Amino acid sequence: MDDIQKYRDLFFEETDEYLQSLNDNLLQLEKDTDSPGIIDEIFRSAHTLKGMAATMGYTTMAELTHSMENVLELFRSGKVKVTSNTVTVIFKCLDKLSEIVEDLRSEHYPDYDIKSLLYELDALADPKMAAKDEVDSKPALGKSDEISDMDADIIRSALEKGYNAFSIAVKVVENCMLKGARAYLVVNKLEAQGDILQTNPGVEDLEEGNFDRVFKMIFLTKETKENVREMIENVSEVEEVSIDEITEEALPDHYIMTEDAEVAEDGNNANKNSKEILDQKKNQNLRSEEKATTIPTATQSIRVDLSRLDNFMNLVSELVIYRTRLEELSSKQKSTEIDEPLEQVARITSDLQDLVLKIRMQPVNVVFNRFPRMIRDLSQELNKEIDLIIKGEETELDRTVVSELGEPLVHLMRNAADHGIESIAERVAKGKEPKGTIRLEAYQEGNKVVIKVSDDGKGLNPETIRESAVKKGIPAEDLDKNELIQLIFNQGFSTNQEVTNISGRGVGMDVVRQKISSLGGSIEVMSEVDKGTQFVIKLPLTLSIIQALMVHVGTETFALPLGIIEKVVNAKPGDIKESHNEEVYVYREKVIPVVRVNEKLGIESREENQHIILVMIGGKHYGLLVDDLIGQQEIVIKKLSGSLGNMKEYLGATILGNGDITLILDVGNLCSGKGENFE
| Chosen residue from 194, 201, 209, 372 binding other proteins by CB under 8 A | 209
- The residues pairing with 164 across neighbouring beta strands, listed in sequence order, are 221
The whole-angstrom separation of Cα 112 and Cα 120 is: 16
Within 8 A by CB and 6+ apart from 194, the residues are: 163, 219, 220, 221, 222, 223
| H helices present in 125-222, as ranges | 127-132, 149-160, 179-191, 203-208
Point out which span in 201-209, 448-456, 579-587, 658-666 binds other proteins (CB under 8 A): 201-209
If binding is defined by CB under 8 A, does position 2 make contact with other proteins? yes
If binding is defined by CB under 8 A, does position 201 make contact with other proteins? no
| Chosen residue from 107, 133, 289, 589 binding other proteins by CB under 8 A | 289
Within 8 A by CB and 6+ apart from 670, the residues are: 595, 597, 600, 624, 649
Which one, 25 or 379, has the nearer CB to other proteins? 25
Within 8 A by CB and 6+ apart from 499, the residues are: 505
| Chosen residue from 115, 128, 161, 303 binding other proteins by CB under 8 A | 303
Point out which span in 184-192, 437-445, 477-485, 630-638 binds other proteins (CB under 8 A): 184-192
| Chosen residue from 107, 162, 292, 337 binding other proteins by CB under 8 A | 292
621: enclosing H helix or E strand: strand 620-626
If binding is defined by CB under 8 A, does position 295 make contact with other proteins? yes
Q: Measuring CA to CA, which residue among 104, 20, 22 is closest to residue 65?
A: 22
| Chosen residue from 43, 91, 368, 489 binding other proteins by CB under 8 A | 43
Going by DSSP bridges, is the β-strand pair 661-665/556-561 parallel, antiparallel, or unpaired?
parallel
Give the shortest CB-292-to-other proteins separation in angstroms. Answer: 4
| DSSP state at residue 305 | -
Give the shortest CB-412-to-other proteins separation in angstroms. Answer: 34
Active-site residue identified among 47, 223, 268, 524: 47
- The yes-or-no answer on residue 581 being catalytic is no
Give the shortest CB-414-to-other proteins separation in angstroms. Answer: 34
| H helices present in 334-479, as ranges | 339-359, 365-368, 371-382, 399-415, 424-429, 462-471
Sign of CA dihedral 245, 249, 254, 258: positive
Q: Which residue type does 500 have?
A: T
| Chosen residue from 185, 243, 361, 640 binding other proteins by CB under 8 A | 185
If binding is defined by CB under 8 A, does position 69 make contact with other proteins? yes
The whole-angstrom separation of Cα 29 and Cα 36 is: 9
If binding is defined by CB under 8 A, does position 285 make contact with other proteins? yes
Contacts with other proteins in 252-281 (CB under 8 A)?
Answer: 281
- The yes-or-no answer on residue 69 being catalytic is yes
Contacts with other proteins in 366-395 (CB under 8 A)?
Answer: none
| Chosen residue from 35, 44, 361, 617 binding other proteins by CB under 8 A | 44
Helices 8-31 and 36-56, packing angle to 10 deg: 160
If binding is defined by CB under 8 A, does position 66 make contact with other proteins? yes
Which one, 173 or 366, has the nearer CB to other proteins? 173
If binding is defined by CB under 8 A, does position 52 make contact with other proteins? yes
Active-site residue identified among 23, 164, 210, 415: 415
Point out which span in 207-215, 471-479, 619-627, 652-660 binds other proteins (CB under 8 A): 207-215
Sign of CA dihedral 444, 546, 365, 404: negative
Within 8 A by CB and 6+ apart from 433, the residues are: 427
Which one, 79 or 281, has the nearer CB to other proteins? 281
- CB-based burial of residue 322 (10 Å sphere; 0-12 exposed, 13-18 middle, 19+ buried)? middle
Residues 459-497, buried b or exposed e (16+ Cβ, 10 A)? bbbbeebbebbeeeebebeebeeeebbbbbbbeebbeee
Point out which span in 2-10, 106-114, 348-356, 448-456 binds other proteins (CB under 8 A): 2-10
Give the shortest CB-66-to-other proteins separation in angstroms. Answer: 7
Contacts with other proteins in 159-178 (CB under 8 A)?
Answer: 173, 177-178
If binding is defined by CB under 8 A, does position 422 make contact with other proteins? no
| Chosen residue from 10, 123, 644, 647 binding other proteins by CB under 8 A | 10
Within 8 A by CB and 6+ apart from 381, the residues are: 501, 502
Contact 516, 522 (CB under 8 A): yes
Give the shortest CB-295-to-other proteins separation in angstroms. Answer: 4
| Chosen residue from 7, 255, 443, 493 binding other proteins by CB under 8 A | 7
If binding is defined by CB under 8 A, does position 76 make contact with other proteins? no
If binding is defined by CB under 8 A, does position 184 make contact with other proteins? yes
- The yes-or-no answer on residue 47 being catalytic is yes
The site for other proteins, by CB under 8 A, has a size of: 50
Contact 612, 586 (CB under 8 A): no
Q: What is the dihedral of CA 104, 398, 509, 664, to 10 degrees?
A: 120
The whole-angstrom separation of Cα 598 and Cα 244 is: 100
Give the shortest CB-602-to-other proteins separation in angstroms. Answer: 53
Q: Measuring CA to CA, which residue among 502, 391, 505, 371 is closest to residue 442?
A: 391
Active-site residue identified among 23, 25, 41, 69: 69
Give the shortest CB-288-to-other proteins separation in angstroms. Answer: 7
Which one, 73 or 510, has the nearer CB to other proteins? 73
Which one, 178 or 425, has the nearer CB to other proteins? 178
Q: Measuring CA to CA, which residue among 131, 46, 134, 56 is closest to residue 94?
A: 46
Which one, 138 or 580, has the nearer CB to other proteins? 138
Q: Which residue type does 649 have?
A: E
Contacts with other proteins in 442-481 (CB under 8 A)?
Answer: none
Q: What is the dihedral of CA 268, 271, 272, 275, to 10 degrees?
A: -160
Contact 551, 634 (CB under 8 A): no
Give the shortest CB-14-to-other proteins separation in angstroms. Answer: 5
Residues 587-607, buried b or exposed e (16+ Cβ, 10 A)? beeebbbbbbbbebbebebee
| Chosen residue from 123, 141, 181, 348 binding other proteins by CB under 8 A | 181
Cβ atoms within 10 Å, residue 512:
22
Contacts with other proteins in 577-636 (CB under 8 A)?
Answer: none
Binding mask 217-256 for other proteins (x = CB under 8 A): ----------------xxxxx-------------------
Residues that bind other proteins (CB under 8 A): 2-3, 7, 10-11, 14, 41, 43-44, 47-48, 50-52, 54-55, 57, 62, 66, 69-70, 73, 173, 177-178, 180-182, 184-185, 188, 207-209, 233-237, 281, 285, 288-289, 291-292, 295-298, 303
Write out the catalytic residue numbers.
47, 69, 415
